[in-house]
Structure formats: structure tokens, C-alpha cells
Amino acid sequence: MTTIDLQPVKGVRDFHPEDMRVRTWLFGLWREVARRYGFEEYDACVLESEELYTRKAGDEITKQLYNFATKGEDRVALRPEMTPSLARLVLGKGAALALPARWFAIPQCFRYENMQRGRKREHFQWNMDIIGLASVAAEAELMAAQVDFLRLAGLDVGTAKPDVVLRVSNRQVIQHFLAGLGIEGDSFAAVCVIIDKRDKIGDEATAVELAKLGLTAESSAAIISLLDTTGLDQVAAKVPADNPGLLALRELLALAEASGIAHLVKIDLSVIRGLSYYTGTVWELFDASGSLPRAIAGGGRYDKLMETFGGPPTPMVGFGFGDVVIVEILKERGLLPTPPRGIDDVVYPMAAAEFPVATRIAAFLRAQGRGVAVDYSGRRFKHVIGRAEADGAKRLLVLGGDEVKAGVVTVRTLGPEKVEEKVPLATFGA
């Protein structure tokens, strides 16, 4: 007999019931915040056509695809992100979709990544996207939603030393700067993919990569120096006053002020993001302590993606917020809850003869909406009560032969009080 490997496939997770309770809690907060902002939930299949992810700019995500041919020779992939599926769905709706639309989803995504802390080969990603709104009011709203979630999760987002920072840039700042150097269109997207890796590969390797795209050493140096700019004033000092990226950042900051999140925003041109489809605002949410170097969430404006799929010009902006990093951060700070199992009552028939009456009582209580587990194990009282307490049940209903004959059930309140009383079976519909 061969024994099976008990580990899940490398880089993916199992969710035991206790993990699942945490996941359900997290998704519940995400859904609650989405509801508060008027977003509608959508979904798509994790299996998509591979062509949805093929991009000229050489995005890393394309290289990390779990892709294969089906038995029918169709090229398919497990989605690495939700945005292309969203664009496909929106495009499919056509003019029937009332714009602006606010859509959210919590897809599971797969990327063949080098695993590190905060990075796995599978993750769940809360996405909120606004379709058909060109104003940076959309970005401000999305950032405010992220902050509302963090507040609900217990993080400090209100004081002068908050737990998180929103690092924000706008690709148009650099795009217009590069256009002045003759770099436009697809080359711009390719430049973004390279400079996004600068943190990892360093300035020298970045310049080498940029040279492969035909940039001179002077141009590369100029881009790299621009990337080191932080704060709106410094950006304004480096680019012309009518640079559309600068104007958008200024407007965004004013709206962030209005929604009470401006203190969390740090304008930082080194934020590029690795996805080539972004065209305007790009932002990343980080743990301010720097203990986890990975972004908690990332988003941006992608006003041209629909056109690359053959659709009409449609402004779109959104973010992806993974479950892995945030859970690590909440765990580190002792903020991760241990949600209860949701069992209110355990009904304990002491022998098989009492099974029918136990079953009737359980049905009666369930019909009232209570969570009921019947302990049919036949184990000793000590075990049963121990298990019921460990499961967080509030009451134990004991059905011994004598009790049933006397037409009563012993109801024991679990927890510190431990009150016990005999209650007529009729009270529980039995």
C-alpha cells in the first residue's frame, strides 16, 4: 500500500475548520466594507483562457502563469489576478451596463511565485473596481474603503503614528516626462515593468534593462532620479505645472483630505506597480513599521485595458487586497480573532434509546435558528461536556433514560455559571 503525501501541493494552503472560520471572518469584513460603499459582488471561474494574460510588455505575472492545454487543445490558465476577467465581463455586458459601476469580488488567484513570507502560490484577493469613472474621486473612494476595512480589523489608522501607509503615485508623471525623451506607447509600459523591479535589482541592473529598450544612459539616470521623488511639493519642483499626473495627484490629495485619510497618503514616485496595464494613479498599502516588506494591497487606474481587449474606451480603477499579508500582520499584532464555532446547544442522548427524542429536540431548536449539535457518540458525560465546552456551546441538554421517562431534560448552562435545571420535554417540542 502506498501512503499519500499529507501536505498540500507546494505553495498552496489547506483550510482546516479553524482556519476557515478566520477566512470567513475576513471575507465578512471585506463584504461589509464593499456594501458600505455600494459595491455589487461578482465572480468568474478560476479557469480562464490563457490569451487573457498575454501582454507585450513582459509582465512578471504572465511568466508566473499556471497554464496548460486542455484535452481539447485549448490554452487555459488558472487566473493569477481578477482584473482581466473583470474587463471580459464588463465588455460582455456592453451598453447594458449602467456606468459608473461598482463591482467587487473575492477570487482565489494562482501565481507560480518564488515563495517568501507573505507570498504564496495561491491567495484570495479582495478586489474593488469602479468602472466608467474618470475622476480621481474613484481612487479616493477606493482608498477610503481600504482604510475602513483596516479600521474594522482593529489597526490604527487614526493617530499621528498609524499602522499603515498608502504610497501613491501617478504613472502619468513619469509618462509625460518620458514622452519628452521620446519614449511612448508600448515602450512606456515596458519601462514601467522594468522600473518596478528597481527595488529588487538595484539601479545598475535597472539601467542595463532600460538600455535594452534603447534608452540612453542619461535618460535612464534621469528616470531613476525622478523615481526618488517624494511629496507633492518635490514632484511639483521637478515636472512642469501642467503635467497631468501632478494635477491628478493634487486633486486626489484634496479628496483624501475630505475623506479623512490624507494623513496616511505618501506621494512617492518610486511606486510603479508591476502590471503594465496601469495608466494613471498607482498605489500600494504598506505596514508602516516595515516589518513585512510586502505590500498589503495594490491598485491603480487602467483606462486602456478595455481597448486592448477590443472594447470601447472605458475608464477603470481598482485594487487587489490579498488575504496572506494582512492575516500575518493581524496575527503579529494579536488582532486576529478566534471566531466561535457557532454551536449554541449540544444535545446529549446518553444511550441509543434516547436518540429519537434527542433528534426531535434538535429539530425544534434548529427551527428557532439555534446552532445544535447532537452528541450521538455514546461517550461518558465527562467527555461530552468537555467537548461541548471546547466547542463554545452555551448549553448542554442531557437526556438520560430516567429523565426521558420522567418527561424532562437536564439543561446545563455552560461557562462560568453552570446552572442546571430540569425542563419538561414539551418545552422543546418533544
Q: What is the contact surface with ligand HAM in residues (CB under 6 A)? A: 81-83, 111, 113, 119-120, 123, 125, 127, 129, 275, 295-300, 318-322, 324-325
Q: Which residues contact 35 (CB under 8 A, 6 or more apart)?
A: none
To ligand HAM, the closest distance from the beta carbon of 273 in angstroms equals: 6
- The string over 333-364, giving b where at least 16 C-beta atoms fall within 10 Å of a residue's C-beta and e elsewhere, is beebeebeeebbbbbbbbeeebeebbeebbeb
Long-range contact set of residues 256-260: C-beta below 8 Å, sequence gap at least 24:
256/140, 256/143, 256/144, 258/140, 259/140, 259/141, 259/143, 259/144, 260/144
124/177 with CB nearer ligand HAM: 124
245/300 with CB nearer ligand HAM: 300
To ligand HAM, the closest distance from the beta carbon of 263 in angstroms equals: 21
CA–CA distance, 66 with 296 (Å, rounded to integer)? 23
To ligand HAM, the closest distance from the beta carbon of 69 in angstroms equals: 24
How is residue 241 written as a grid cell?
A: 505645472
140/404 with CB nearer ligand HAM: 140
To ligand HAM, the closest distance from the beta carbon of 140 in angstroms equals: 15
How is residue 126 written as a grid cell?
A: 479582495
**Closest chain position to ligand HAM (CB):** 322
To ligand HAM, the closest distance from the beta carbon of 18 in angstroms equals: 20
Q: Are 255 and 140 in contact (CB under 8 A)?
A: yes
CA–CA distance, 131 with 137 (Å, rounded to integer)? 12
To ligand HAM, the closest distance from the beta carbon of 181 in angstroms equals: 27
134/232 with CB nearer ligand HAM: 134
Q: Which among 119, 120, 123 has a CA at the least distance from the CA of 109?
A: 123
To ligand HAM, the closest distance from the beta carbon of 340 in angstroms equals: 27
Q: Do β-strands 40-41 and 101-105 pair in parallel, antiparallel, or remain unpaired? A: parallel
To ligand HAM, the closest distance from the beta carbon of 109 in angstroms equals: 7
246/275 with CB nearer ligand HAM: 275
133/297 with CB nearer ligand HAM: 297
264/296 with CB nearer ligand HAM: 296
To ligand HAM, the closest distance from the beta carbon of 279 in angstroms equals: 11
Q: Which residues contact 189 (CB under 8 A, 6 or more apart)?
A: 55, 56, 57, 276, 277
To ligand HAM, the closest distance from the beta carbon of 10 in angstroms equals: 13
119/394 with CB nearer ligand HAM: 119
For residue 100, whether the previous peptide bond is cis, meaning omega lies within 30 degrees of 0, is yes
How is residue 78 written as a grid cell?
A: 488558472
Q: Which among 76, 75, 72, 69 has a CA at the least distance from the CA of 48?
A: 76
192/384 with CB nearer ligand HAM: 192
287/403 with CB nearer ligand HAM: 287
188/319 with CB nearer ligand HAM: 319
How is residue 297 written as a grid cell?
A: 494591497
To ligand HAM, the closest distance from the beta carbon of 52 in angstroms equals: 12
